[in-house]
Amino acid sequence: MASAQQMKWYLMFALTAWGTAPTGEFSFAEEPVEGSATALDVFDAIDQGVIDAKFIARDSQRGRLFLTNKTDEPVDVLIPDAFAGVPVMHQFGGGGGGGGFGGGGGGGGGQQSVGGGGGGRGGGGRGGGGGGRGGGRFNVAPEEVSTIDVPLLCLDHGLRDPSSNKPYEIRPIEDVVSDPAVIEIVAAYANGDLQPAAAQAAVWNVNSKVGWQELAAKLTGTVRHAVRNPYFSAAEIKSAMAIVAQAQQATAGQEIERRNWQPVSERNPDGEKDATPEKLTNPEKSGPKSDQSADNR
């Protein structure tokens, strides 16, 4: 049963006639597996040493989350409706910066942070400015690795595009952004409610404070390219404006409740919680044991 807010997103999607939905790049083989009645939030599962999570930002639109069950029992894990992927060496505040969405980002500085989510499956009720509608629930077999593909939005305008060669890690999005409307947009996009380009423009407008005129004038490629096309169409900018208005209305009066979760890369390297950059290697190169994917399409 869709929530009232989800129904508003669906209605707005239909009325604005955005056309194409997010691409089939994010299709999945299976739905999340319903397991035991008790499920652990992914960040709690990491803290308890039950799950090891590795995140790969494959590019500006696609990410992959690897969950390793470190126990000899099946584990149900809840992926938040919205979370952030942050470069391990990237120092950031609540807003500003950012790169790509398909190669149109800037060149200087570090990699940008990204936002993705569990797709709104398996959970109930909307959180109060901290994580959305409940996210997705996934069952991870004992001592196995499950992979979850997630669509991404770039959070920071002006930094480099994400790359699978750069180590990233997941963090609670409420510890990364400062405006609850950003969380609302990321969650709605992860749930499949929003068209990619319009959602990206909306996030840059809110999180990076990029004006609509600047976004409308943004071009693909770099100054070295002979042909540069508009990055966003007029219809996509118009849709982005509607997305921002809806997100701000939905989150009016809300304040983000910081989780203050300690990133794994910043923890004491001794013991099971060690996640130094050496341990944050690309799981795709080592090959997970098994795949379990579920998407918002």
Cα separation, 101 vs 1, whole angstroms: 32
Cα separation, 207 vs 152, whole angstroms: 15
Cα separation, 242 vs 250, whole angstroms: 12
Amino acid residing at 263: P
| Tens of pLDDT, residues 72-101 | 999 999 999 999 999 987 444 333 333 344
The two tokens of residue 247 are 């997100």
Torsion over CA of 122, 20, 195 and 157, rounded to 10 degrees? 130
Q: What is the predicted pLDDT for the residue at 181?
A: 98
**Helix, strand, or coil here: 244?**
helix
Q: What is the predicted pLDDT for the residue at 18?
A: 37
Domain boundaries, the chain: 40-89+111-121+133-253
* 246 phi/psi in degrees, rounded to 5: -65, -45
| Tens of pLDDT, residues 114-135 | 999 987 443 322 222 333 344 5
Non-local (6+) Cβ contacts of 229 within 8 A are: 219, 220, 221
Q: What is the predicted pLDDT for the residue at 295?
A: 42
Q: What is the predicted pLDDT for the residue at 161?
A: 84
The two tokens of residue 218 are 């943004």
In the DSSP assignment, the letter for residue 265 is: G
With 0-12 / 13-18 / 19 or more C-beta atoms within 10 angstroms meaning exposed / middle / buried, residue 142 is exposed
Task: From first to last of the 297 residues of the chain, give the pLDDT tens digit.
Answer: 445 565 455 445 444 433 333 333 333 333 444 445 579 999 999 999 999 999 999 999 999 999 999 999 999 999 999 999 999 874 443 333 333 444 344 444 588 999 999 874 433 222 223 333 445 899 999 999 999 999 999 999 999 889 888 999 999 999 999 999 999 999 999 999 999 999 999 999 999 999 999 999 999 988 888 999 999 999 999 999 999 999 999 999 999 999 999 998 888 765 444 333 344 445 555 544 444 444 433
CA-wise closest residue to 140 among 50, 63, 206, 225: 50
Q: What is the predicted pLDDT for the residue at 244?
A: 98
Q: What is the predicted pLDDT for the residue at 26?
A: 30
